[in-house]
Amino acid sequence: MTLNEFQTYLHSLYKADGSTPSSGSDEWTHRRNLLYAAINLWDSEKGVFWNELWVTLALAADGDKTAAVSDLSYDMPTDFRFLGSYVRVTSSAGKNVYYRVISPSDAELYANTSTKAVYVTGNVKTGFDLHFLDQPTAGDTINYPYYKTPSLPSATSDVIEMADPWFGIYYALSVLHSIDGDGDLSNRALAMAQDRLSSMKIRNMQLPNDQTNKVDDREFKQGFGGFGNQAGAGLSRYGDQL
């Protein structure tokens, strides 16, 4: 659903006519801001990481994607929030090297070592940077999954990211009725918005048919855990030499 479609559907439900306010008008801007409030509520829903907000560096509009000579620090995308897993560096031949993620406060513990690890510094104001402890090979491709901040549509053709934009429509409708002093209609619209949000949460947890919803024991598969694990072999859980 585009921002223009959001405005059209919202107006039809609110005023029961097709005279949608023009883009840039005070009414249009006010209703767009109500959508932004709905996106904020959706984004901050407790205990939920929305599938729509998981992306990869390869698909990001910005952020450094190629390793450079003698460069250990790289700019991250402007919509970056936090890393989702290992950082992967791929050579032109397709060979992958994985870097585990550590806390910035632990970086000094690995100084002057060849540990394959990275850490992140920065904030939303100054931007985020990815730091390698071990120099990646120049020219190799950097990639990683990360959780991003939601986009706020501004142009009429911009698409709303949430799986069910009707949550935003009913939330905005509830606020508009509340401003008008119509509590019954406001409560009815709010209940519909909450129902849409609940449905999104359920769908967000669903996997395709015949898939199990469990956490795989990756360490066991790699030989680092379970029976037969040689604790004295001098390997950490990530395979780094201790």
Tell me the pLDDT tens digit for each residue of 203-242: 999 877 766 666 555 554 444 444 444 433 333 333 343 3
Helix (H, G, I), strand (E, B) or coil at 50: coil
Residue 17, pLDDT score: 93
Q: In which band, very low, low, confident or very high, does the pLDDT at 38 lie, cut at 50, 70 and 90?
A: very high
Tell me the pLDDT tens digit for each residue of 67-79: 999 899 999 999 9
Tell me the pLDDT tens digit for each residue of 143-159: 999 999 999 999 999 99
CB 48 within 8 A of CB 201: yes
Cα separation, 140 vs 67, whole angstroms? 5
pLDDT at 142 over 70: yes
Residue 114, pLDDT score: 82
CB 64 within 8 A of CB 74: yes
Q: Which of 57, 99, 98, 101 is nearest to 76 (CA)?
A: 57
Output b/e per residue, 91-124; b: 16+ Cβ within 10 A. Answer: eeeeeeeebbbbeeeebeebeeeebbbbbbeeee
Residue 220, pLDDT score: 46
| Mean local confidence (pLDDT), 38-50 | 97
What beta strand segments (E) does 53-178 contain?
A: 54-56, 73-75, 80-83, 87-90, 96-101, 117-123, 127-132, 141-143, 145-148
CB atoms within 10 A of CB 54: 12
pLDDT at 167 over 80: yes
Torsion angle defined by CA atoms of residues 155, 161, 164 and 169, in that order, rounded to the nearest 10 degrees: -30
What does residue 177 show for φ and ψ, rounded to 5 degrees? -65, -35
* Tokens 């795989």 sit on residue: 216
- The domain spans of the chain are 3-50+162-204, 52-149
Residue 206, pLDDT score: 85
Per cent of the chain over pLDDT 90 is 81
CB 2 within 8 A of CB 23: no
Q: What is the pTM of this model?
A: 0.84
Amino acid residing at 239: G
Cα separation, 225 vs 13, whole angstroms? 58
Q: Which long-range contacts (CB under 8 A, 24 or more apart) does 214-218 make?
A: none
Residue bearing the bigger pLDDT, 49 or 223: 49
Average per-residue pLDDT for the chain: 89
Residue 5, pLDDT score: 98
Tell me the pLDDT tens digit for each residue of 130-141: 999 999 999 999
| Mean local confidence (pLDDT), 20-26 | 97
Who contacts 19 (Cβ-Cβ below 8 Å, separation ≥6)? 11
Residue bearing the bigger pLDDT, 109 or 6: 6
CB 77 within 8 A of CB 63: yes
Residue 235, pLDDT score: 37
Who contacts 147 (Cβ-Cβ below 8 Å, separation ≥6)? 49, 53, 54, 81, 82, 83, 84
